[in-house]
Structure 1
């Protein structure tokens, strides 16, 4: 059985001190152990931080933008060349559909190429403030960046923080999710086999607990923490990092509404909403979890949605006929099943998702659910459920739609579905979400920043602004002698 190791100071290791602790990684579609991972403690975390600090201060990496650009381009090429192998392991360890896995890998390669271009364009500015007196504002790497990752999209979420961090000239310590550590390592191999990268610039430490995460947050040798994950964990990271006042980039939970007007309430919109809600079995922070439908179209459109959800074929990610894969583990399957069973106390259950029988019963599979709820204070509307349980609500007009859509602490992503372009623009201006899509959902790519505020976190990923968290501005003032 393959073992995912740590990567510290230019070497793959299972432990820094003494015998290695090892954990099992499971295929959520079968419940069977399929791989193992080295499980880190404080010693591995400390060694990785020390290596990154040393490499940042003592190598020419941060002063070599052309090298960094070329390293990222080579990384993209190698990742693409191994896409089938990495996709196979993503499906095996994560349970997602193979087309979702392949899209994730190709998106990561695109992101790498985008930041390779930006690596050679980190320009500052110079101003003459008085005759012969100049201010030079220079952009330079922030230092050591910690990247803490979840399991739901381990390759693209790695790259969207790692690529700008390396483009900026930082050294990095990555803490991948232990559930998908082997897939992570396959991708990381495509980077670290490049012998031009100084030892210590890239480090990766796997753990099932929180010891390394706490160390990364508290260490004065870590300058930036980039975290993607739940709001609860993000808040703990913010608290743990306060003692060193390090920079944080936190992309946290979501509760994405899709606002559907009567002029767009037809089959194509229903299909788009079903797809936007069931991406990765609903285990994506930008996935649609609330559908707000205009009164005049509510009955017919809700009926169409219910029919579409009932028709979804749940199955293994490597089956081309599957339309939705499984959840990450049986515990999360049972959690969603419990929420679906209790939903009748909160509203009208239109589609009751159940755990399927037969061969699928041993895996973390569950059918999608659709529940009609009016009470905005309901936990089904206010909590991020992170699974295929979707709420449908009705609204009267634009003002009512805005009031309902914005009635959440989550502000990551949303969509508006209407044939009226002016209305979609008006709605986007009033909706308090980091992203608003029109007549589509989940269109994410390297060039466009994403992020939220409130309980969805702060900072931006992707795009030009994705570099900002990994760069500092230095003011150098000088006078020219007469």
Structure 2
């Protein structure tokens, strides 16, 4: 169903347009097929449809309809889960095991949580009667949808991020224009097919745009009819979005980059902690903004930590994403592979070395592959240790105790995520609380869940996605006072 057509969804209709572009299997480099390449006029049509649907369809005020449609969408996605699974493996290069979690099954299930939240949410709160300046008034606070949401999403976890924006935005009563990443257009188009064919979501409420370039994103940010931009992607693009959105003073949610630290305390099980850090860095070829890519270990155990981590990363290796055992598949594109290789060259220039990896794996002449790589011998001030690489690359650094580990972890322009492993739980908790990051895992704890807010400090973004906080990003606050 999904890999034979990939139309746009605009105003409740599947539109193919006159322009097409290719989508590529990152594991083989082969062309999978074509997707609709939207023009500026298509995006304008989508924004017009979303604006009209917000004003005229009754979607914004009909809570029961919204929650029913969200559950319909969850059920439709669940019915087609196996087709979507194969599509995601082929187009995103996602390891099969991840599709049973954050790459597919988990975000689909999360739609039900947002439907439940919308039904239980306190949309209106009575502040009671007061007499400011001697004038008796009954006051209440009302929460209302923003209007048209422009969502711009990346390729690394296409279903998770598309649904993490669409779910709360729709539950809150907004309409949406989703501009999907050029590398994963079929994943977005599949969502559009199901919305039109298997739900009662009104025309114009959801519009899905795919395109080969990035100019459409700038157009979406600049349009005054769009009330909020929700963006996940690089920090550099996030800055550009803020500048563009400032012209119309629209709300902006940004979930951006990271260079997250994995701290191993001196009372931790070194083998267990370093093996866990190696696994995390290799998962989905390191293509996750919240993946921990700096490993901070006690100086006295540095040599042993290097040995353990390198052994684990080498053992993980790379593999066919279709294989249930694969942890590290391909990177998404030739361009991304070249970017990672540029950082590997830089690491050597900065005085670093490779305990394992450092290039392309043998026997992988087709597709876009990078070996799991452990970089040693660098300082935290090096560019390789400070900049987001977005590949299966881990930098290992020594620390001199808890205070030094916290200092090194926080000495970063980013603040998205982090991890702490230690034997004394209270001590590990204390270190976690000192990290200037939006999420922290302690001793392997998993923070990913529909009810947990996700986002970062500093240059890792503004606002939160998921949880009640993420839902409220899509709401405005209105205060009403009535004279008595």
> Which bracket does the TM-score occupy, shorter chain normalised?
over 0.9
Name the structure 1 match of 2:414: 410
Name the TM-score, length of structure 2 as normaliser. Answer: 0.95
Count of residues paired in the alignment: 475
Match of 2:165 among 134, 158, 161: 161
Alpha-carbon offset, residue 322 of structure 1: 2.4
Name the structure 2 match of 1:2: 4
Name the structure 1 match of 2:130: 130
Name the structure 1 match of 2:109: 110
Name the structure 2 match of 1:355: 360
- Any conservation in 1 of the 2:156–2:287 contact (CA below 8 Å)? yes
What CA distance in whole angstroms lies between the structure 2 residues aligned with 1:373 and 1:144? Answer: 49
How does 1:325-336 map onto structure 2 within 5 Å?
325-336=329-340
What CA distance in whole angstroms lies between the structure 1 residues aligned with 2:130 and 2:265? Answer: 58
- Any conservation in 1 of the 2:73–2:199 contact (CA below 8 Å)? no
Alpha-carbon offset, residue 410 of structure 1: 0.5
> CA 1:428–1:34 in structure 2 vs 1: closer, same or farther (change >3 Å)?
same
Alpha-carbon offset, residue 115 of structure 1: 0.2
- Any conservation in 2 of the 1:276–1:441 contact (CA below 8 Å)? no
- Any conservation in 1 of the 2:439–2:447 contact (CA below 8 Å)? no
Match of 1:471 among 458, 472, 475: 475
- Any conservation in 1 of the 2:269–2:423 contact (CA below 8 Å)? no
Q: Please give the secondary structure, in 2, of the residue aligned with 1:325.
A: coil
What CA distance in whole angstroms lies between the structure 2 residues aligned with 1:293 and 1:307? Answer: 16
Name the structure 2 match of 1:174: 178
Match of 1:98 among 93, 96, 103: 96
What CA distance in whole angstroms lies between the structure 2 residues aligned with 1:267 and 1:397? Answer: 18
Alpha-carbon offset, residue 374 of structure 1: 4.1
How does 1:6-405 map onto structure 2 within 5 Å?
6-15=8-17, 20-103=18-101, 104-123=103-122, 124-130=124-130, 133-346=137-350, 347-358=352-363, 360-405=364-409
Q: Please give the secondary structure, in 1, of the residue aligned with 2:195.
A: helix
> CA 1:314–1:374 in structure 2 vs 1: closer, same or farther (change >3 Å)?
closer
Alpha-carbon offset, residue 196 of structure 1: 2.6
> CA 1:248–1:428 in structure 2 vs 1: closer, same or farther (change >3 Å)?
same
Alpha-carbon offset, residue 441 of structure 1: 6.3
- Any conservation in 2 of the 1:9–1:52 contact (CA below 8 Å)? yes
Alpha-carbon offset, residue 362 of structure 1: 1.0
User: What residue ranges of structure 1 are gaps of 5+ in the alignment?
Assistant: none
What CA distance in whole angstroms lies between the structure 2 residues aligned with 1:121 and 1:64? Answer: 14
What CA distance in whole angstroms lies between the structure 1 residues aligned with 2:346 and 2:248? Answer: 44
- Any conservation in 1 of the 2:420–2:428 contact (CA below 8 Å)? yes
Alpha-carbon offset, residue 195 of structure 1: 4.9
Alpha-carbon offset, residue 354 of structure 1: 2.6
- Any conservation in 2 of the 1:51–1:200 contact (CA below 8 Å)? yes
- Any conservation in 2 of the 1:72–1:163 contact (CA below 8 Å)? yes
- Any conservation in 2 of the 1:264–1:417 contact (CA below 8 Å)? yes
What CA distance in whole angstroms lies between the structure 2 residues aligned with 1:343 and 1:281? Answer: 18
CA displacement 1:213-245 (0-9 Å, x = unmatched): 112111110000000000011110010100110
Which stretch of the first structure deviates more once superposed, 382-391 or 115-124? Answer: 115-124
- Any conservation in 2 of the 1:294–1:396 contact (CA below 8 Å)? yes
Alpha-carbon offset, residue 455 of structure 1: 1.1
What CA distance in whole angstroms lies between the structure 1 residues aligned with 2:453 and 2:239? Answer: 22
Alpha-carbon offset, residue 271 of structure 1: 2.5
- Any conservation in 1 of the 2:378–2:385 contact (CA below 8 Å)? no
- Any conservation in 2 of the 1:154–1:184 contact (CA below 8 Å)? yes
Q: Please give the secondary structure, in 1, of the residue aligned with 2:176.
A: strand
Moved over 6 A (4+): none
Q: Please give the secondary structure, in 2, of the residue aligned with 1:204.
A: strand
Alpha-carbon offset, residue 312 of structure 1: 1.5
* Alpha-carbon RMSD: 1.5
- Any conservation in 1 of the 2:455–2:465 contact (CA below 8 Å)? yes
Which stretch of the first structure deviates more once superposed, 311-320 or 146-155? Answer: 311-320
Q: Please give the secondary structure, in 2, of the residue aligned with 1:178.
A: coil
